[in-house]
Amino acid sequence: MEEHSPPELELLLRYIAQECGIDCRKYKPNFLVRRLASRMRVHRVSDYQSYLYILKKHPEELDALLDNLTINLTYFFRDQSAFEALREEVLVPLIRQRDRPGRRQLRLWSAGCATGEEPYSLAILLHQLLGTNLPHWDISILATDLDEKALQKARAGVYDAFSFREVSAQALSPFFSLQNGRYHLAPEVKSLVVFQRHDLLGNSYPSDMDVILCRNVLIYFTREQHDHIFSMFHRALRDGGVLVTGKTEIMLGPIAALFKSINLREHIYRKVRTDLPRSPAPPQE
Ligand SMILES: C[S@@+](CC[C@H](N)C(=O)[O-])C[C@H]1O[C@@H](n2cnc3c(N)ncnc32)[C@H](O)[C@@H]1O
């Protein structure tokens, strides 16, 4: 956030941080101001002080604001071509390479997983690839997000037609059961994914990942924060590990030297070995 934001805005942000543990000062100032303005319009107030008063008086407004700040839009196999490339160019060779006693292990991370469609798409891919051999593999898919409400929905594993915008529910029917018009994920797919709350700007990162997906998340962040997150992903990956970003997430400047492209169009990169200093602190605005 700008160094000299108005005191009313500071008070408002401090209140949000105190009530829900989310430090909004880390977001791009323009993004934050636009999101706040859209909630303020709903309540027909034009200053931060009045909006803070509304937040205090109506705790449910905090939920509405958080919904507005953490855009959870996602669906199964979003950007199908990226999943196809991931399958053919990353997972198939990786499985071939690891398919021997004592090496049948895969660690994947969906960072910014929203309501779970992305990590569950990974789980479905692995079921399709490994079939009846899956029980012989040690597979962990970590799925993290800042938004606890989205994580709750993800853990339930129950979806509406909206989540099947790119791949039809019919095509994925072996992995779902239809109950009262809603699609319930099969337990054997659900059990591959572990959901955790994690702030990409605040928490320490896991390690030894084979594949990290971080797609359509970094739009909220500044260039310095991108660099920080990319260098943390670099550390979180095993040697030769793979990072997949979204179509709008581009590595610029020196940070791009940490990865080499496997598939430029689909934003799939392989970690390049370097000797970076350990764990820098996240940049503040
Ligand atoms: C548009 S969704 C992306 C979902 C999925 N990756 C996809 O591409 O379909 C963006 C997610 O990023 C999460 N997010 C925003 N800031 C974050 C942060 N600092 N740490 C972790 N997740 C964050 C939001 O809560 C939201 O669920």
137-168, pLDDT tens digit by residue? 999 999 999 989 899 999 999 999 889 988 99
Residue 122, token pair as written in the block: 């990974």
Contact assessment for residue 244 and residue 82, using Cβ atoms and an 8 Å cutoff: yes
> Percent of the chain at pLDDT above 90?
72
pLDDT of residue 280: 57
- Find out whether the beta carbon of 249 lies less than 6 Å from any atom of ligand 1: no
Q: Is the CB of 147 under 6 A from ligand 1?
A: yes
Is 204 within a domain? yes
CATH number at residue 213: 3.40.50.150
Task: Please report the pLDDT score of residue 105 as a whole number.
Answer: 97
Average pLDDT over every residue of 175-192: 96
Q: Do the domain assignments include residue 38?
A: yes
- Ligand 1 centre to CA of 66 (Å) is 12
Ligand 1 mutation target, pool 32, 35, 70, 248, most atoms within 8 A of CB: 70
DSSP characters for 204-264?
PP---EEEEEE-S-GGGS-HHHHHHHHHHHHHHEEEEEEEEE-TT----GGGGGGEEEEET
Distances (CA, A) of 214 to 2, 114, 218, 261, 269: 26, 11, 8, 15, 12
Output the six-digit token pair for 186.
């099969």
My answer on whether 88 and 207 are in the same domain is yes
pLDDT digits (tens, 9 = 90+) for 187-219: 999 999 999 999 999 889 999 999 999 999 987
- Closest atom of ligand 1 to CA, residue 114: 27
Nearest Cα residue to atom 24 of ligand 1: 70
Range 30-36 contact pairs with CB under 8 angstroms and sequence separation of 24 or more: 31/219, 31/220, 32/1, 32/69, 35/65, 35/68, 35/69, 36/12, 36/65
Distance (Å, whole) CA 182 – CA 179? 5
Q: Are residues 119 and 223 in the same domain?
A: yes
Q: Can you tell me the mean pLDDT for 56-70? A: 82
Nearest CA to ligand 1 atom 11: 112
Last residue of a domain, one of 15, 49, 69: 69
**In the structure, what pLDDT confidence band is assigned to residue 3 with cuts at 50, 70 and 90?**
low
Same domain, 55 and 195: no
* Domain co-membership, 257 together with 132: yes
Atom 25, ligand 1: residue with shortest CA distance: 70
**CB of 74 shorter than 6 A to ligand 1:** yes
Q: Is 125 part of a structural domain of the chain?
A: yes
> Among 18, 38, 69, which residue terminates a domain?
69
Higher-pLDDT residue of 77 and 253 is: 77
Pair 42, 156 in one domain? no
86 plus 156 within the same structural domain: yes
Among all chains, which residue has been given the structure tokens 């789980």? 123
Position 1 scores a pLDDT of 53
Give me the CATH number covering residue 59.
1.10.155
Kindly give the distance from the C-alpha atom of residue 150 to the centroid of ligand 1, in angstroms, as a whole number.
9
Counting ligand 1 atoms within 8 A of each CB, the residue from 145, 198, 243 with the most, and so the one to mutate, is 145
Domain co-membership, 165 together with 259: yes
Q: Are residues 102 and 168 in the same domain?
A: yes
Mean pLDDT of the chain: 91
**Could you give the number of structural domains in the chain?**
2
Q: Which atom of ligand 1 is nearest to the CA of 200?
A: 20
Among residues 34, 49, 69, the one where a domain terminates is 69
pLDDT of residue 281: 61
Range of the domain at 63: 7-69
Whether 277 maps to a domain, the answer reads no
Residues 52 and 185 in one domain: no
With the most atoms of ligand 1 within 8 angstroms of its CB, the residue from 70, 217, 247 to mutate is 217
**Confidence band for 285, pLDDT divided at 50, 70 and 90:** very low
Q: Does 2 reside within a domain?
A: no
Average pLDDT over residues 260-283: 80
| Pair (98, 63) in one structural domain | no
